[in-house]
A and B are shown apart, each in its own frame.
Chain A
Amino acid sequence: MKMQKEKMSNATTGWLFKMAWRDGRASGGRLILFMASIILGITALVSIQSFSDNLQENIRLQSKFLMGADFIIDSRQLPNERVQGIMDSLGGAEGMEVNFVSMASFPESNDSKFVRVRGVEGSFPLYGELETEPQKAATTYITKNGALVDATVMLQFDLEVGDVIKIGDTTLPITGILKSAPGNSGLASSVAPAVIVPYQIIDQTGLIQVGSRLDYNYYFRAPEGMDLDILDKELDPILDAEGADLDTHTSGSRQLGNSYGNVGKFLNLVAFIALLLGCVGIASSVQIYIKEKLRSVAVLKCLGASRKQTFLIYLIQIAGMGLLGGLIGTLAGVLLQLTFPSLLQEFLPFEIQLSLAPQPIVMGLLLGVLMSVLFALLPLMNTWYVSPLQVLRIQEAPEKRPKKARALVLLGILVFVFLFSLWLLQDWRYALGFVICIAVTFSILAGVATLFMKGIKRFFPSNWGFTSRQSLLNLFRPNNQTMVLLVAIGVGAFLISTLYFTKDMLVAMAQLENDGNSPNIILLDVQSEQKEAVAQSITPKGLPILDNIPIVTMRVHSIKGRAANDLRQDTTLTMNKWVLNHEFRVTYRDSMISSESLTEGEWVSETPKDGLIPVSIADNIARDAEVVVGDTIVFNVQGVLMETVVGNTRAVDWARMQPNFNIVFPKGVLENAPQFNVITTNAPNAKASAGLQRELVQKFPNISVLDLRQIVTLIENILDKIAWVINFMAFFSILTGIIVLIGAVRTSKYQRIKESVLLRTLGAKSKQIMQITALEYFYLGVLGSGIGILLSLISSQLLATFVFKTPFVPSPVPFLVLLPGITLLVLLIGLSNSRSVLNSPPLVVLRKEGS
C-alpha cells in the first residue's frame, strides 16, 4: 500500500522553519523568561571571558615593554666570574640597574617617603620608554646627575622639578617627573614608588652596606630567532647555582597573569554559576512554554503532522531563540567588558587595549544554542508523546517517556557541564569536581523532596484547620510540584549562596588587621649598634616598641649530610633547589608568635648545652627541602658553619602583615653573629607617624621605614575596587537566579489554578485561598532555600580548601538575608499566580487559562 511506504507528509524543512517562526512570533511574551535566562548567562560568560582573554593578550604583547628587555639576569650581589662569563657569552648586557628600598627625604617640605631607588646605567630600557615630564628628562637626568621621581610622590609632597631629594648621604636635584617605567608594577610601585638615578651616584648614598637587600638587574636584547624558553631552561639552573636568576619577558607575562589568579578564578566561577543558573532557567521556562503548546501539538498531529515534525518545529524554535539570546548576550557581554578596565586600571601595570576576542564570542553564540537545546530537551520530549486524542477532550493517562531517552538527555547534560567547566577551568579534576558537586546537589535536593513528601503523608496533622491541611495536601497529592520546585529553589539558593560565601572568602583573604596592638610602622635594616639610639627616638614620643627582632643572614651548606654543591648537581633530586641558593633571613627567639602554630615536633626555647641546635622550620620550607623533624641541616652563617637539627615544623599565616620567618633559631646561639634588627611600633595617627619618620630619616639614613598605615589604605582601596567588580558580577548571577525562581514557581501556576477556581466555586473566601497558597509556597521556599544554603556551606568549604587555599569562616548573611529573601520571593510569585483567581469570577478564569 502507498500509505505504508510513506512515513511522513511531504512538508519540507522550510515549512518546519516557517511554522517555528509563525508560532514563535505570537509567543514572544511567553518566552521572556527563557530569553532572559540565556541572555544573562551568556552576558556574564562573554564579558568575563573576553576581558580575561584581552588581559592575557595584553600582558603577552606588552611583556617586553613591561620588562624593558627580552630577558634579564638578576642577582642579589654583583655577578661572580662565572655569571659574568655567561653574560659575556650572551653578548653582554646593554643596560643594568641596582635597586633597593630606602627612605628618601625632601628638605624643602621636610617630608620623607619609603621609595625604591633604581640606579641605572647603559641603555635602559631596551624596549618601551621612560615616560617623564618634561619629556627630555628621560635622558638628561644622567648627564645632570639628577633624579626622576615618581609622579604620585611629586603630587603627594607638592614637589616641583628643580626641588631636591635626599637619598642616604647624597642630595640630588629632581630633574623630571617619572610617569611610567618598565619594571614598575602597579601595587609594588604604590608601596615603594620608584626614584630613578644614575648608577654612578649610588656609592655616594652610603646605603650599600652589609645586610642591605640589593637587586642587580642586567638587561639583554635577544638576537632574532632565539628561543627564550630554551634559553631559560638551559641557563637558569647554572645561574641558580651561582645565586643569579634569568627571567624572560615570556615567563614574566606568565607570572603577571598568575598574580591575578584568584580574582580570575572567582570571575570564572561567577560565569560558570551564571550560566548554570541560566540553564536551570531555560529548563523551567521551556517546561512552562511547552506545557502551553501541547494542545497545539495535538492539533497539528490531528491534521497529519508526524511526531518528528511537531518535535522539530519546537526544537527549531528553541534553538532559534537560543541563537538570538546568545547573540544579544554576546553583544551585551562585549559591551560590559568595556567597563572593566576603568575599574581595574589602578592595579594593572599597563593600559589595557580592548579588542574583540573571537573565542568567547563564538563560544557565547554556540553556548546559546547548545544550552537552550540541551536543557529544553526534557520538556520538549513531551511533544513527542502527546496524543492527538487530546483534541477530542479525552484525557488519557500520559504515555510514559522511555527511561533510556531520559537517561541519554541527562547524560548529555552532565557531559555538557563537564566540557564547559573544562573549557572554563582548564583542569579536568576541577571540572569533574564541579560536575560531581552539581549532581550530588541535585540528588540530595531530590532525596529531601521525596522524604519531605513521604514524611508529611505519614505524619499528616489531621486535626489542623482547613487551610493548613489544604496547603499541606498540595505538597504530596497528584500533580504536586514539590519535587520540581524544591530542586529549582534549592539549586538557585545553593548557587547564589556559594557565590556569596566565595566572595566573602576572597575579600576576607585580603583583610588586614589594624588595631592598636598590631604594628603599623616597621623599621628595617636597623644595625646592632643603632638599636638603642633608635629606641630612644621612639619611646620618648609615647610610642611602644612592639617587636625588636634580630635578623641573621645565612645560607644552606648541607642537608642530611649532603653538601649543597653536591645536591645542586644531582639531576635526580626531587627537592626544590631554590632552598640551596637562597639567602635566608633568620631570627631567634624563645617562643612562637600569633601567626604561627606547631605542626610537628616540639618547640625549643633555649639551645641545649650539648648536641645539635634544634631549629624550627616553616612547613612550606620543610616540604620544598624535603626534610622532617630529626633531619640535619648545616647553615653557613657568614663563614661560620652551624650544625642544626629540625626540631619542629610550623604552619605560618604569611598573609598577616607582620614579620614572619622561614627559619627560627632558639635563643643562646646567634646572639653574637653579625646581625641587624627589625623594630616595629604602632603610631596612632598620621601626624605621629610623620613625625617619627622625619626624625628617623634625619638621624639614621640607612634605616627604611615601612608605613603600613599607607599600605593598608592603598590595599583597601584596591580591594574595594575588586570587591565592586566581584559584587557586580555576582549580581548578574543572582538576577539569573531570580529569573529561575520566577520560572519555577510559575510552572506550578497551571497545577494550582484549577484547584483554586474549584475552591472558589465551592464558596472559598479570598483569604482562605490566599492562606492555602501562601502556606504551600512558604514551606517550599523555606525548605528549598534552607537546604540550598546548607549545601553551599559544603561546596564553599571545598572551594576554600582546593581552589582558593584559604580558611573558610561562614558568614551568617545567607541565612539572615538569602533564606528569608528567597522565601519571600517564592511566596510573592506564588501569590501573584493566584491573583487572577481572586480578582475574577471562576468561569472567566477557567475560560482564560484554558484558552
Chain B
Amino acid sequence: MSKILNVHQLGKTYSSGSKKLTVLDAISFEIEKGDTFAIVGPSGSGKTTLLGLCAGLDEADSGSIELCGTSINELSEDERALLRNKEVGFIFQDFQLLPTLTALENVSVPLELQGIKNAKTQAMELLHKVGLGDRSDHYPSQLSGGEQQRVALARAFINNPSILFADEPTGNLDEETGEKVIQLLFELNKEAGTTLVIVTHDLDLAKRTQHILRLKRGKIASNQSTVLST
C-alpha cells in the first residue's frame, strides 16, 4: 500500500515572552492509504498541534510533511488551502459549522469551493445518509450537538477526501450520542475508503483504529499497531 501521510523529523516551537516552548520534537511516522490511525496522549502533549501541521493548517519549524504525495512545506497558505479542499476532510470537537448557513449549505461548501454545479444534490444525499434529510434547511443553532456533528460528518465526506482528520470528535457530546456519531464516522469511512486520523483522549475509541501513536511532552512515546491492524 502507498503512503498517504509521511511525517519526518517534525518540530514545532512556540514563543512565550522570552521563553521558547517546544511543543513537538523530532516526530516521524507514516500512514498507509486507507488506514485508521489514532493520536493519543495527555493534555499538552502536542496532539492537536500535530494534527494541525499534518492537515496543513500551520507551518512546521523543522522537518517535513508529505500529504497525498505533496510536500506541504513548500506550499503557500493558499496552495495548502486548495490541497485541503481537494484531499482533506475535517471533524472538530466543537463541530465548527458556519452559523449563518443552513445544514444543507454547510455541507455544500467544500464542493462549491471546487466549482461543482450539483453540490446541493450531493449534499442532500449525504444529509439523508446521516439521517438529517428533514433538517436540511435548519441553521446550526436549531440543531442539537449530535445533529450538528452529523452535519459536520456529511460535510467532511462530501468531497470524497483521501484523508480525514478528526479532532476529539466526541469531546462535546454525551456518551450515547458520541457512540452513535463514532459508529456513523466509521461506517462512512469504510464506505468511502478514506484514511482516518483521530486525535483523542478516549483510549477505547483509539483502540477501534488500526494504529495508535502515543505522544508525551511533544515526543513519540510509542507507535503501535492494534489488533485491528491486518
Contacts and interface: CB of A to CB of B under 8 A. Distances in A.
B58 A389 contact: yes
Nearest to A5: B79
Contact of B82 (A299, A306, A851): A306
Shortest beta-carbon contacts, A-B, top 6: A304-B85, A10-B115, A26-B100, A306-B78, A9-B113, A23-B100
Interface stretch (A67-75, A390-398, A488-496): A390-398
Interface of B: 15, 48-49, 51-52, 57-58, 70, 74-79, 81-86, 88, 90, 92-94, 96-101, 105, 109-110, 112-115, 139, 141, 155, 167
A6 B85 CA distance: 12
Contacts of B51: 392
A22 B57 CA distance: 25
B81 A4 contact: no
Given A22-B101, A302-B84, 8 more contacts: A3-B70, A3-B82, A26-B139, A299-B98, A304-B82, A391-B90, A392-B51, A394-B48
B23 to A, nearest CB: 10
A6 B82 CA distance: 8
A17 to B, nearest CB: 12
Contacts of B97: 299
A9 B114 contact: yes
A305 B57 contact: no
A399 to B, nearest CB: 11
Nearest to A308: B78
Nearest to B141: A851
Interface string A31-71: 00000000000000000000000000000000000000000
Given A7-B82, A296-B98, A392 B70 contact: no
B57 A389 contact: yes
Contacts of A535: none
26 contacts: A6-B79, A7-B79, A10-B113, A15-B113, A23-B101, A26-B100, A296-B98, A299-B96, A303-B84, A303-B90, A303-B109, A304-B84, A304-B113, A305-B113, A308-B78, A388-B81, A389-B57, A391-B92, A391-B96, A392-B51, A392-B57, A392-B167, A393-B48, A393-B93, A394-B52, A394-B58
B52 A392 contact: yes
A22 B120 CA distance: 14
Contact of B110 (A1, A25, A304): A304
A387 interface: yes
Given A306-B78, A389-B58, A851 B90 contact: no
A302 to B, nearest CB: 6
A382 to B, nearest CB: 15
A3 B100 CA distance: 31
B72 to A, nearest CB: 9
Contacts of A6: 79, 82
A8 B93 CA distance: 28
A307 interface: yes
A762 interface: no
Contacts of B88: 304
A752 interface: no
A9 B115 contact: yes
A4 B79 contact: yes
B24 to A, nearest CB: 13
A12 interface: yes
A301 interface: yes
B83 A301 contact: no
A304 B89 CA distance: 10
